[in-house]
């Protein structure tokens, strides 16, 4: 006999669906309510206080085709963070449902649904919601921020450097492409420093508007400008005793770099509108995806600031330069997201590893993480396969037609092997991937002993 506990609210504009669920779900939930639209959703949430909301992605109002469901999912989580939202979607809107899960939805159900799977998903959401008040909110953020060193030679060198510099107060400049983990490395350095019990304050320096730059970084006093109703501590003061991480430092306009340099040199700030010099005790870590030396040569970055922030320089390699770490990283992400999204996944099969390791990964680790997250959400099995990964050929390492001759022999052998494996031995398909003829592929297979 099913356990009848908890409350569920169904929001769907289809009367037939509402009626069908009104028959099915009372066998599993103590209370079931339905709404034909989100018009009275807020008041119903306040009155009914459900554990789970089964929310349609589209309504007759057609405000934003699918985005309406995303909007209301966000509003529900804002109002009652402990309430679990399950998205009800047509097959065509699966991508939107995936985005909804990234924003906090528990799961999604595709119409037409399977009763057993629907009940299992909704009752799992209910059980999670009912535990919400007593659960240990043990930081998924911390998990996500854990540094993975891997086994590549480049990362081994960086790890040794971090071992040496973390306990010191040396200023560190971290460079690397977008998504290589510069922010994660900065937190690793702080966590292993003598300042780890003090705050680490992160600032996207390139995102601060010029008019607010000084106020945000150095603070302001009451009355300094129209909306300055109280004194405000800037990021330097907030990080006092700890670490200040200035991300995207290469985007700071030249005329503001002089003001930043002065504070870094003096280790003191003067708040906007004030006159008192306030000492700050910080460890400074900066990061950028830009070539600062080139910017210095072009006159777009101050040379004196560059040398001031560059006591120790760590250049993070792109993911394509540490391919041996791709599959292990993917496995870590798989385990994390399988737990988060309640999927019975245990690992990657060989075909998935081949596809992942041949990817270009222009977005690096961040792109890999997003790829695995999406694959986990959409997967129905216990192992991720190449089919689940859904990498576009444009992003795969197999070159377009006419380019195989441009790579080295070692790279060519890797690409040929991967193409044959990815095509499951279909020579015509493999040759098409590589942009060469079947006879040419046969010759290369013979050359490499395949």
Tens digits of per-residue pLDDT, 202-226?
A: 999 878 888 889 999 999 898 888 7
The CATH number of whichever domain residue 425 belongs to comes to 1.10.10
Per-residue pLDDT tens digits for 368-390 = 999 999 999 888 889 999 888 87
Q: How many Cβ atoms are within 10 Å of 116's Cβ, its own excluded?
A: 8
Instruction: Please tell me whether residues 82 and 215 are part of one structural domain.
Output: no
Least confident piece of the model among 214-228, 314-328, 406-420? 406-420
Q: 147 lies in a domain? A: no
Query: Higher-confidence residue: 327 or 89?
Result: 327
Which of 352, 176, 312 has the alpha carbon at shortest distance from 248?
176
CA angle 240, 241, 243 (to 5 degrees): 80
The number of domains in the chain is 4
**Number of residues that make up the chain:** 450
Banded model confidence at residue 60, pLDDT cuts 50, 70, 90: low
Span 364-370, average pLDDT: 92
Task: Please compute the mean of the pLDDT values over residues 109-123 and round it to a whole number.
Answer: 90
Confidence check: pLDDT of 269 > 90 = yes
- Same-domain check for residues 212 and 269: yes
Same domain flag for 346 and 384: yes
Among 374, 395, 416, give the residue marking a domain's end.
395
Q: CA nearest 432: which of 409, 402, 408?
A: 402
Q: Is position 90 within any domain?
A: yes
Least Cα distance to 177 among 320, 293, 299, 302 occurs for: 320
Claim to verify: residue 303 and residue 325 sit in the same structural domain? no
Nearest to residue 342, comparing CAs of 141, 151, 73, 101?
101
| CATH number of 388's domain | 1.10.8.60
Q: Which of these three, 315, 341, 372, is where a domain ends?
A: 315
Q: Which segments of 197-253 does DSSP mark as H helices, in order?
A: 213-218, 235-238
Contact of 281 with 269, CB cutoff 8 Å: no
The owner of tokens 């790890």 is 159
Looking at every residue in the chain, the average pLDDT score rounds to 85
Nearest one of 287, 284, 283 to 181, comparing CA atoms: 287
Reported as half-sphere exposure (CB side, CA atoms, 13 A), residue 392 has a value of: 5
Of 67, 99, 134, the one marking the end of a domain is 134
What torsion, rounded to 10 degrees, do the Cα atoms 359, 361, 366, 369 define?
A: -10
- 382 with 302, same domain? no
Q: What is the pLDDT of residue 137?
A: 37
Mean pLDDT of 406-426: 67
Q: How far is residue 228's CA from residue 171's CA, in Å, rounded to a whole number?
A: 32
pTM above 0.75, yes or no: no
Distance CA 194, CA 190 (A): 8
Instruction: Provide the pairing of β-strand 347-348 with 383-384.
Output: parallel
End-to-end CA distance of the chain: 58
pLDDT of residue 142: 47
Query: Which structural domain, as residue segments, surrounds residue 381?
Result: 320-395
Residues 186 and 294 in one domain: yes
Percent of the chain with pLDDT over 90: 51
pLDDT at position 68 is 78
């Amino acid at each position: 006999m099913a356990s009848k506990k908890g409350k569920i609210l169904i929001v769907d504009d289809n009367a037939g669906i509402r009626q069908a669920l009104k028959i099915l779900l009372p066998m599993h939930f103590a209370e079931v309510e339905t709404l034909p639209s989100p018009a009275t959703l807020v008041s119903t949430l306040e009155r009914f206080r459900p554990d789970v909301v089964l929310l349609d992605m589209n309504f007759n109002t057609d405000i934003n085709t699918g985005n309406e469901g995303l909007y209301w999912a966000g509003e529900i989580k804002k109002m009652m963070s402990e309430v679990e939202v399950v998205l009800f979607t047509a097959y065509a809107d699966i991508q939107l449902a995936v985005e909804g899960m990234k924003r906090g939805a528990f799961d999604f159900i595709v119409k037409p649904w399977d009763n057993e799977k629907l009940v299992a998903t909704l009752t799992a959401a209910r059980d999670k919601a009912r535990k919400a008040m007593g659960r240990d909110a043990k930081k998924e953020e911390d998990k996500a921020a854990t540094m993975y060193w891997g086994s590549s030679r480049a990362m081994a060198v960086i790890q040794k450097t971090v071992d040496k510099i973390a306990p010191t107060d040396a200023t560190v400049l971290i460079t690397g492409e977008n998504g290589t983990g510069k922010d994660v490395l900065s937190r690793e350095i702080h966590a292993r420093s003598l300042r780890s019990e003090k705050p680490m304050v992160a600032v996207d320096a390139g995102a601060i508007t010029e008019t607010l730059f000084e106020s945000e970084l150095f603070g302001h006093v009451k009355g300094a400008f129209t909306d300055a109703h109280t004194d405000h501590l800037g990021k330097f003061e907030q990080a006092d005793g700890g670490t200040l991480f200035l991300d995207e430092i290469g985007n700071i306009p030249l005329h503001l770099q002089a003001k930043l340099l002065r504070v870094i040199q003096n280790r003191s700030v003067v708040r906007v509108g004030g006159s008192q010099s306030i000492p700050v005790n910080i460890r400074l870590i900066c990061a950028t995806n830009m070539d600062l030396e080139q910017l210095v040569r072009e006159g777009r970055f101050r040379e004196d600031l560059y040398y001031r922030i560059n006591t120790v320089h760590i250049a993070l390699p792109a993911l394509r330069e540490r391919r041996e770490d791709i599959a292990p990283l993917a496995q870590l992400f798989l385990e994390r997201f399988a737990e988060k999204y309640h999927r019975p996944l245990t690992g990657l099969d060989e075909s998935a590893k081949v596809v992942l390791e041949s990817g270009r990964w222009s977005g690096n680790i961040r792109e890999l993480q997003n790829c695995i997250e999406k694959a986990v959400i959409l997967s129905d099995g216990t192992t991720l396969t190449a089919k689940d990964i859904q990498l576009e050929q444009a992003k795969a390492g197999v070159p377009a037609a006419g380019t195989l001759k441009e790579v080295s022999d070692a790279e060519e052998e890797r690409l040929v092997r991967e193409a044959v494996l990815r095509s499951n031995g279909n020579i015509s398909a493999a040759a098409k991937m590589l942009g060469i003829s079947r006879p040419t592929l046969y010759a290369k297979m013979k050359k490499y002993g395949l």
